[in-house]
A and B are shown apart, each in its own frame.
Chain A
Amino acid sequence: MKKLNRRSFIKGGLATTAAAMVVKEKTSAASGDFDNYPEGMGVIVDLTRCVGCRSCEAACNKEQDLPEPAVPFDDFSVFDHMHHGEKRRTDETAYTVVNRYDTPEIDHPLFRKIQCNHCNEPACLTSCFVNAYTKTPEGAVIYNAKVCVGCRTCMVACPFYIPTFKYSSAFTPRIMKCIFCYDTRLKNGQPPACVEACPQEALTFGRRKDVLKIGKQRIRETPGKYVDHIYGEHEVGGTAWMYLSSVPFDKVGFDTHVPKEPIINSVKEFLAMVPMVLTIWPGLFVGFHLLATRKDKVKEMEKEAELKKAKENDEKEEQV
């Protein structure tokens, strides 16, 4: 080990601190201070009203310029399509899909529409390391393909399995997901295409806080019709799209085990210790180094002292 004098100690310390600063600046703006937009829009989906006509799917396809589907929208055999034992899901050709659920509790099937739920604190947004996602004041979670690197962490993070990736494309791959028709409609105060297309008024569009009230009102005013829960009111910290159902939500394909707080909260344990490591480690380990090498230092000093003594003796002898 090289001799550690004051100068090199300061140098080493400075280098480490500088290294720490470089990294620290980038990470210290930790998550958690994300504002909810109180005036954001939302939709409440009433499963008891949906008849599975797939008009919303067709409207979305047209509005978003998605490719023609393999099976036309008036073909209801898709409800029996299973992939890996799972019902249909969103993919790069469909931002929204409707699935049928036969439940023993009631004598008719229920239909559930899935699309991006536009979380208040979206996991896709908080997990994205290039800031490709934005939660707009209108309530939409939109995506910027121009900066996306294609790491697909958003897909891992999304508790609802919504973002999809264009695996088929080599040169222009991107994330494909529902954006609440932000560009073409929501921005101008209009409801998304699927809501407008619904003939059953199963989808109710309005301010999130207002549609939440409508949902609660329906539960209150028609006792026994709904389970006393609005899916999305608190799930993962609240979502702009919420659901009413007449059967327990896990019977109609909802994941009822998702946390009741934003996904980012379970990451905070780690994020909180980052500044600690960055600030404490340099001093701690340089300290360890000094402790571990103190014996060498002592030996060196003894040697020097001996040399000095010998020199002095020599000089004395010379004088004599």
Chain B
Amino acid sequence: MKLFSKERPEIPIVHHTKEDGSAWTIKEKLWLGLSVAEYKKQFFRNPVNWFMLMIFAIGIPLILGRYAFGLGWVTHASNDYPWGLFLGFGLFGMVPLSASGFMLGTTVELFGRKDFHSIERLALLNGLLGYFFAVLFLEVDLGMPWRLPYPMFVSLGPAAVLFLVAWHVATYLSVQIAEVLPAFFEWIGWLKGKRIIRKYVLGLTVAGIILSTLHQGALGALFTYAPAKVHPLWVSSNFQWIHFFVSSIFGGLSMVIIASTLIKNYMGWRCDDDFKNNLDYVTIGMAKGASLAMITYLVVKLVAVAHDQEWTYLLTGWGSYYMLELGVAVVLPMFMFAFGVRNNWVTLIRFGAFIAAIGIIWNRLNTALVCFNWQMYQEIPHWKEVWITVTIYALYFLTYRFIVYRLPIVYEWKGER
């Protein structure tokens, strides 16, 4: 894109009309204003795309195979380990990293912090896509994916935690679609739609907070069904939902820092000056919030150990692993954030965010797989399971990029708004 945007002033598209006054059609907007040949050229120039194609070449047949031959063909999920990588990574890992939507929505719309406005749409999109793909992961993992609407309409089990997760994720997904739609409406030029949503933005934001608190917590509460199976250090019937909820706060913020860093570095042509100039400032602000959430998280973790009288476990091998997890995944990035905020060292914050996001996934995998059945054997995921997980994540990446390339997410629409 860099190539074309230098030569042609009307690219990248930020306006309904071209230089000569005629309007861009939706089709032209989809092709980024390039001809098909040009589009192909820029697509195949990018080594990332070749890498993606390689993943899909094997991954898509594997996914088809999963639907043709059953879950047993691709996973090591078993009667002892009912949940494997699809849920451990895809659901339990993706959802906390997508808490960004409600975090930044709350900051800007509810607390009126307009100074974070430039990152708000990216955070909302990050949230929407993360949830959407978590559902996609679920669709790969469910035994009968075609029965996804059953808990909503066919046979209801309202007292189950998963029931709450299902309803809240479904409702929240709609809320997030509504929150991202204004960007789409600007892009297609239907301003009435945008105005309608604008009216309900406070309601949507508050609904987002409620739903997020509950389902982020509920994902943790799912493990309280297995108090005798998960290692006591990773499960606490009193505090599990708080652990999951609080860690989703810094998880979501870290993910936005990562996404914005990648976009700034590899998609500079798409960002406007407002986004670029504000990025360091909002990154520092988010790091501040994240480090506060982290210290809260550490305190609640400590309280849980004290409350459940688990001090002796800390002296075992599992205890060392537990402290390693907290040290590397939380304490280290927390100090990186704090130091970065104090000294305006944004690069350090960005590295910290990367560690924190990986750390969240590590924690969720520990809870769902490593420390599950801790008195039994360890389950190692099947290579096909790993590959399918990577494939769906690659699809997530491509969808993310597709949207950021086009919609006014990291730039402001110059046409009618």
Residues of A within 8 A of B (CB): 1-2, 4, 8, 11-16, 19-20, 22-23, 26-31, 84-86, 89-91, 123, 126-132, 144, 147-153, 155-157, 159, 161, 163-170, 173-174, 255, 257-259, 263, 266-267, 269-271, 273-274, 277-278, 281-282, 285-286, 288-289, 292-293, 296
Q: Are B167 and A15 in contact (CB under 8 A)?
A: no
Contact between chains at B83 and A16 (CB < 8 Å): no
- Using known A-B contacts A12-B203, A258-B228, A271-B161, determine if residue A165 contacts B171 with beta carbons closer than 8 Å: no
Contact of A23 among B211, B226, B238 (CB under 8 A): B211
At the interface, is chain B mostly helix, strand, loop or mixed? helix
Known contacts: A174-B143, A277-B214. The answer to whether A292 contacts B110 by CB under 8 A is: yes
Q: Are A149 and B142 in contact (CB under 8 A)?
A: yes
B78 contacts A by Cβ under 8 Å: yes
Q: A129-B156, A130-B157, A267-B224 are in contact. List 15 more A-B contacts (CB 8 A).
A: A11-B200, A19-B203, A20-B207, A131-B157, A149-B144, A152-B83, A170-B69, A170-B71, A170-B73, A173-B71, A269-B224, A270-B237, A271-B221, A285-B110, A292-B112
Q: What are 18 A-B pairs at a CB distance below 8 A? A: A15-B200, A90-B79, A129-B151, A129-B156, A129-B160, A131-B156, A152-B83, A156-B82, A157-B225, A157-B226, A159-B228, A161-B79, A165-B82, A165-B143, A168-B70, A170-B66, A285-B110, A289-B109
Contact of A84 among B71, B112, B376 (CB under 8 A): B376
Bits for B77-92, please: 1 = Cβ < 8 Å to A, else 0. 1111011000000000
Bound-state Cα–Cα, A231 to B302, Å: 34
Q: Counting CB contacts under 8 A, is B217 at the interface? A: yes
Q: How far apart sit A217 and B221, CA to CA, in the bound complex (Å)?
A: 41
Q: Which residue of B lies closest to A148 (CB)?
A: B144
Set of chain B residues within 8 Å of A11, measured between Cβ atoms: 199-200, 203
Inter-subunit contact B67/A289 (CB<8 Å): no
Mark B residues whose CB is within 8 Å of A: 66-73, 75, 77-80, 82-83, 106, 108-112, 114, 142-145, 147-148, 150-151, 154-168, 171, 198-207, 209-211, 213-214, 217-218, 220-222, 224-229, 237-238, 240-241, 376-377
B168 touches A126 (CB 8 A): no
Flag if B151 contacts A150 (CB, 8 Å). Answer: no
Partner of B210, one of A20, A149, A173, A271: A20
B143:A150 contact, CB within 8 angstroms: yes
- Asked whether A27 lies within 8 Å of B164 as measured between CB atoms, the reply is yes
- In the complex, how many angstroms separate the beta carbon of B268 from the nearest chain A beta carbon? 30
Chain B residues with Cβ below 8 Å from A257 are 228
Q: Is the CB of A288 within 8 A of B159?
A: no
A132 touches B161 (CB 8 A): no
Complex Cα distance A4/B160, Å?
A: 38
Partner of A147, one of B71, B72, B155: B155
Name the A residues within 8 Å of B222 (CB-CB). 153, 156
Name the residue on A nearest B152 (C-beta): A26
What 6 A-B pairs come out closest when comparing CB atoms?
A150-B143, A15-B203, A167-B72, A270-B221, A152-B82, A266-B237
